Amino acid sequence: MAERKIKKSVDKASLDMMEKAARDGVTTAFDRAGEMSQCAIGAAGSCCKNCGMGPCRVLGVKGEEEAARGICGATAETIAARNFIRMVAGGAAAHSDHGRGVAELFLAAAKGKAPGYTIRDEQKLLQLALEWGVEIGERSNQEIAVDIGEIALAEFGKQEGEIRFLSRAPLKRQELWRREGVAPRGIDREIVEIMHRTHIGVDQDYHSLLKQGVRAAIGDGWGGSMIATELQDILFGTPAPVLGRVNLGVLKKDEVNLVIHGHEPLLSEVIVAVAQDPEMVSLAKAKGAKGINLSGICCTANEILMRHGVPLAGNFLQQELALVTGAVDAMVVDIQCIMQSLPDIAQCYHTKIITTSPKARIPGALHIEFDEHNALEGAKAIVRTAIENFPNRGNNIDIPKEQTDMVVGFSHETINYLLGGLFRASYRPLNDNIINGRIRGVAGVVGCNNPRTTHDSDHTSMVKELIKNDVLVIQTGCSAMAAAKLGLMTPEAAAKYAGEGLASVCETVGIPPVLHLGSCVDNSRILMAATAMVKDGGLGDDISDLPVAGAAPEWMSEKAISIGQYFVASGVFTVFGVTWPTLGSDEVTKHLFTDFEAAYGGIWAFEPDPIKAAHLMISHIDKKRKALGIDKARERVLYDMEMRRELESV
C-alpha cells in the first residue's frame, strides 16, 4: 500500500500550496509520507511493545499460526486485539478528556467563576435537568447548571452502575448492551481497564479484549463525547443553520489572519467575541490591516463554524499549508491533531504559533495558557499577538482563490425543527421518505485525512457515490470539510449530484444532500439522530434495524477507531479505508468483520476503494430495507372511517 503511487490531493488550493512549499523549501506531511513507508508489521497490528522482553513481531502466517508467539506466549490474535483496543483507549481518552474539560468549565461558569461564559441554550439545560432528575422548580439557571455540571463531571470517575446517557438509546439497544456485558460503568474506568488488561500477562483472550474495547468505546460515544456536545450546546448555543465558507481562500490579504486549530471550543468561543471588540479592531487598523479575519482548521473550527459561521481554512492536512500562504499572522492551537512541524514551518514565514493547553505543548511555540477564570485576558493577548504580528508579514504571500459556500449547523434538534417547523417538528418526513424509498438510507461519513491516500479524494468520491444512490449523508470532522470544499454542502448540490429521490427531498426541505453535524465529538449527534429515527417509528425498534451505515474513508487517528467502535457497538455497519490495524490476525479481523454482527447488530469492514466501500454501505442499507419490508414500492393506503376509528388518540 505504501508503494501505491498516489496523487497527493484533489484540492487545487492544497496542491498549489504544496508547490509553493516546495519552492519555499518547506517540508509537509505529504512529503514525509512519501519519504517514509508504513511499517508493515505495525500497520497490521502485529508488533507488541507492551513490555521490555519485546518488541515482538508476531505475524499470523498462514499455516504457522500455532508457532507464532511472542516471548510471553501471546498469540497473533492477542497482540492484534490488544493493539486494537489500545487505539480505542487512546481515542476514547482524547474525546472524554475533552468532555471533562468542557464539564469543568461548565461547572465553573455555573458557579460564576468563569467570567465571559453564560448559559446560552436554556431549553437544552432544562431538558437535561428533566432527563437527569435535577430539580427545576423556582431555581435559577445557575443553580440548575451547578447540579448538572457536578453530575456530568462525576460520570467520568463513576465506578459502578451505568453511565447516564445509555438511557437515551433505544430500549432494545440498552438491553443488548446489558446482555453482552458492555454497558460502561464509568467513562474513565473502562479506559483504565483497557490499559490494565493489555499489560503483559493479563487478558489473553481476544474475545474478551475486544469486548472491553466495545465497552470503553460506548463510554466515549454515549459518554464523554455526548457530554462534550450537550454541555457545549448549553454553554455556547445549539447550532442552527448558518452560511459558512471553506478552504484556504478564506484567508484575507489585507486583514489580520488568526487561524484557530484544534478541538476544544472553550477558548475559541471567547476569541470569536474578542476579535469583534472595537478596541481590537482599531488596533488592527492602526497596524495597517482592514480588520481581523478569523478562520479555523480541524474541529475547533467546526465548532465555531457551526455556531458562528466562522469560515474554515481547511482540514487536518491543510494546517501546514495554511502557514505556507505566508498570510497567517498567528495560529492558535488547543488540543489534538496538531502537527509538531507547525513551529518549524512558521519560522519560514512570520507566523506565530500559540499553544494554549497545558496538555499540549510544542517546542518552539509561544505558550499563552488558557485559564477559564481569566479567559478574556488570554483571548485578548492572543488576538493582540496576531495583530501585532501583522506588520511582520513578508512579501512571499500567496493566498489560493479557492473558497466554497456551505450551509452548516445541523444538530439533532435543528433537524427536528427543519423537518416540520415549530408546530409540526419531528423526524417524520425523514422516516416517511426512507420508507417510501425516496431516500434509500442514511450514511455517516466521518473521520480524518491521511496522506497515505489522496487528500479529500476518498471522502468526496464516497460521498458523491452515496448521494447519487439516494443515500442522505451526514458528516462531521475533516471529512465534512472535504465534501464542503467540493460544494456538496450547498442546497444546489442536490440537483447536481444526488439521485432523483434524495434530490426531491432536499428540494422540499431546502437542505444540502450532505449535512454537516459538527466536530468529531459531535458524532454523538449522529447517535441521537439515529435514535430519533428509531423513536419516530416505522423503521424497526433498534438502531441496528435502520437502513444506515457509517464510514471513515481517510481515517488516521485513534479517535476514529474509537468512534468506529461505538458506531459498531450501537448497531451500525461501519467501513474504514486506507489501512486496517488488525490484518495481522485473520481470527481477530474475522471476529470484528463477521462475528460482531450476531452480538451487536453492527460490524466493521475495511475497503480502501471508496466507491467499492460506498457500495458495501449501500448493500447493507438494502439488506436492512429488505428486513424492514420497505424494499418494494408500497401501495397507497386510502383511509375510510373505520380505519380512522381504529387510530390511537394522539
**DSSP conformation class of 317:** G
Span from 284-292, 401-409, 444-452, 543-551 in contact with other proteins (CB under 8 A): 401-409
Q: What is the strand order of the sheet 604-606 is part of?
A: 514-516, 471-475, 441-445, 548-552, 573-576, 604-606
**Distance in angstroms (rounded) separating the CA atoms of residues 170 and 616:** 25
Q: How far is the CB of 363 from other proteins (least distance, A)?
A: 43
405 binds other proteins (CB under 8 A): yes
Ordered DSSP codes for 361-383: --TTSEE----GGGHHHHHHHHH
Shorter beta-carbon distance to other proteins: residue 118 or 436:
436
Contacts with 295 (C-beta within 8 Å, 6 or more apart), sequence order: 250, 251, 257, 258, 259, 260, 301, 310, 311, 312, 313
DSSP E strands in 177-319: the ranges are: 242-246, 256-261, 292-297, 312-314
CA distance 22 to 25: 5
Grid coordinates given for 88: 480505542
Q: How far is the CB of 132 from other proteins (least distance, A)?
A: 25
DSSP letters for 8-47: SBS-HHHHHHHHHHHHHT---HHHHHHHS---HHHHTT-E
DSSP string spanning 114-154?
Answer: STT-----HHHHHHHHHHHT---TT--HHHHHHHHHHHHHH
CB 241 to other proteins: min, Å: 5
Provide the mask over 215-254, with x wherever binding to other proteins is found by CB under 8 A and - wherever it is not.
Answer: --------------------------xxx-----------
> Smallest gap, in angstroms, from Cβ of residue 492 to other proteins?
7
Question: Minimum distance from CB of 239 to other proteins (Å)?
Answer: 12
Of residues 32 and 424, the one with the C-beta less far from other proteins = 424
Cβ nearer to other proteins, comparing 144 with 484: 484
**By CB under 8 A, what part of segment 460-499 binds other proteins?**
490-492
Q: Residues 6 or more apart from 73 whose CB is under 8 A from it?
A: none
Instruction: Give min distance, CB of 411 to other proteins, in A.
Output: 12
Report the residue from 420, 538, 586, 616 that binds other proteins according to the rule CB under 8 A: 420
Contact call for residue 361 and other proteins (CB under 8 A): no
* Residue with Cβ nearer other proteins (245 or 620): 245
- Distance in angstroms (rounded) separating the CA atoms of residues 440 and 548: 9
How would you classify the pairing of strands 404-408 and 548-552? unpaired
CA–CA gap between residue 643 and residue 407 (Å, rounded): 42
Q: Which is nearer to other proteins, 132 or 417 (CB)?
A: 417
For other proteins, the closer CB: 27 or 436: 436
What distances in angstroms separate CA 269 from CA 159, 225, 246, 348, 485, one per listed residue? 33, 18, 19, 29, 24
Beta strand 330-333 pairing with 471-475: unpaired
DSSP string, 524-544: HHHHHHHHHHHHHSSS-SSGG
Nearer residue to other proteins within complex by CB, 598 or 641: 641
How many residues make contact with other proteins (CB under 8 A)? 46
- Which segment (350-358, 366-374, 399-407, 564-572) binds other proteins by CB under 8 A? 399-407
* Residue of 511, 560, 588, 599 that binds other proteins (CB under 8 A): 511
Binding mask 421-460 for other proteins (x = CB under 8 A): xxxxx--xxx-xx--x-x----------------------
| 256 or 406: CB nearest other proteins | 406
Return the C-alpha torsion angle 447, 449, 453, 458, nearest 10.
50
Q: Minimum CB separation from other proteins for residue 485, in Å?
A: 15
Cell numbers found for residue 95: 474525546
**Which C-beta is closer to other proteins: that of 3 or that of 635?**
635
Site string for other proteins, 152-171 (x = CB under 8 A): --------------------
How far is it, in rounded angstroms, from Cα 402 to Cα 458? 20
Q: Is 638 in the site for other proteins (CB under 8 A)?
A: yes
Q: Which of 27, 38, 118, 504: binder of other proteins (CB under 8 A)? A: 504
Among 161, 181, 510, 537, binds other proteins (CB under 8 A): 510
**636 near other proteins (CB under 8 A):** yes
The residue within the footprint of other proteins, chosen from 375, 505, 517, 561 (CB under 8 A), is 505
- Residue 160 or 648 having the CB closest to other proteins: 648
Q: Does 633 bind other proteins (CB under 8 A)?
A: no
User: What is the C-alpha to C-alpha distance for residues 226 and 455, in angstroms, rounded to an integer?
Assistant: 29
Q: How far is the CB of 127 from other proteins (least distance, A)?
A: 16
Of the candidates 589, 443, 641, the one whose C-alpha atom is nearest the C-alpha of residue 529 is 443
Smallest distance from other proteins to CB 622, Å: 20
CB of 432 to other proteins, least distance (A): 5
Return residues touching other proteins (CB under 8 A).
241-243, 405-407, 417-425, 428-430, 432-433, 436, 438, 490-492, 504-505, 507-511, 636-645, 647-650
